[in-house]
Structure 1
């Protein structure tokens, strides 16, 4: 036969067990849940960017989304917070380009060769256009009065990463700076495009522990001009080889400072 003190201990133990279960239940219900499949959110901060899409907008040219936002199927978020950019070779283009793109455009302008600014990114390329095998993954691009002029273009071309710096606002004169070679599809690498603010630029890329860096001078015709960063999937197909032809790039980090 149990004594009164034993009965008190048994009741206390039952209350403790039930109370612990209730606390667990309340904690599970109230704890914020991670959305399945990324839930349309991204760890890459899209604030401060607008987005160009490879579909026609109201004026017949490529549509822009401002502020930038995840836009399926062109810009999708992965469960790890990454962003995947898809640009078909047969998509719509901007007014002064023949190549469709899914690309972020910075809303922050700066003065070329004068302001110290940097764009860094971590990414992998999953698909390149069938013919050119070339995607521009990062740029310093003209803004305001020269908004139709590309300036610094970082290419992923069939596994090679190289930067091109346009020397004149008109024409095709440019300097090329090879950075890395043999970077396979689906392997992660990093790049940096920096205006050092002193008339020079630093361009670098890193893959599998190897970093290659180049220094380029800001050409005379671009010094003091208003420019901006662009980053994403500006695929360079010469012609579409089917609906599934184009560029597909996943970014794990994008930082402008």
Structure 2
């Protein structure tokens, strides 16, 4: 059972897109974009879905909250910060790209980290890339391939870890990448996101990103 008690959910419907609050998620919220069962949760974000302000792509994505539903933002120097997930990507849009995890920045349109599954027609499988902005003022992220050879419907794990010293590491499919971010990030309010952020906005209503998560856990270890 995935604990939904410290998340809210954005779904790609309405203007602005609808936010499903923490309390509602805990009561067993389900619709065509998000379903929760005893052993998994599923996300669907069609390319035709509504988009949040300043975003060019649709998303069905969880965002960290406190247990009372208020937004949970943190600075990385406070704790060792982990996002652990076990999932499978079921469908990708024509671009082949779906973001499955993020470290985002409060009141910013530019995340620190995007973890993205990229399906490749040539190999009929996918890679996991990390798109990292090492400094808050970076206009574009640097891109690193974390893992390769992950098929659609293949279950895999990822772990995003940002420690108190600013060391960012990403583990996926038994591969590991790490590097240190700029200390200027220590002044920024950060938060985790997870789900499906479809990196495409053209096509039929049947096109989009779909994923099923079997585990999703956030830890801020202050010890």
Query: Shorter-chain TM-score category?
Result: 0.7 to 0.9
Higher relative contact order (CA 8 A, sep 6+): 2
Higher Cα Rg, which structure: 1
C-alpha contact 1:113 1:224 (8 A) present in aligned 2: no
**Which residue of 2 is the match for residue 50 of structure 1?**
8
**Which residue of 1 is the match for residue 208 of structure 2?**
246
**Which residue of 1 is the match for residue 69 of structure 2?**
none
Change (3 A) 1:177 1:113: farther
Mapped pair 1:116 → 2:80: yes
Deviations for 1:120-163, whole angstroms, at most 9, x for unmatched residues?
Answer: 00000000011x110110000001xx443311110001110011
Q: Please state how far the C-alpha of 1:236 moved relative to its aligned partner.
A: 0.2
- Alignment partners' CA distance in 1, 2:109 and 2:190: 11
Deviations for 1:163-217, whole angstroms, at most 9, x for unmatched residues?
Answer: 11113435533222211112000010000001111121111102xxxx1101121
Candidates 71, 75, 99, aligned match of 2:57: 99
Aligned length: 203
**Which residue of 2 is the match for residue 200 of structure 1?**
167
C-alpha contact 2:88 2:213 (8 A) present in aligned 1: yes
Name the TM-score, length of structure 1 as normaliser.
Answer: 0.75
Name the TM-score, length of structure 2 as normaliser.
Answer: 0.86
Change (3 A) 1:90 1:164: same
C-alpha contact 2:40 2:213 (8 A) present in aligned 1: yes
Mapped pair 1:191 → 2:158: yes
More strand by proportion, 1 or 2?
A: 2
Candidates 157, 162, 183, aligned match of 2:118: 157
Superposition RMSD on alpha carbons, in Å? 1.6
**Which residue of 2 is the match for residue 82 of structure 1?**
40
**Which residue of 1 is the match for residue 189 of structure 2?**
226
- Alignment partners' CA distance in 1, 2:182 and 2:131: 12
C-alpha contact 2:82 2:159 (8 A) present in aligned 1: yes
Task: Provide structure 2 residue ranges, at least 5 long, that are not aligned to the other structure.
Answer: 66-71, 120-125
More helix by proportion, 1 or 2?
A: 1
C-alpha contact 1:113 1:195 (8 A) present in aligned 2: no
Deviations for 1:80-132, whole angstroms, at most 9, x for unmatched residues?
Answer: 521110000000011021110000000132103553110000000000011x1
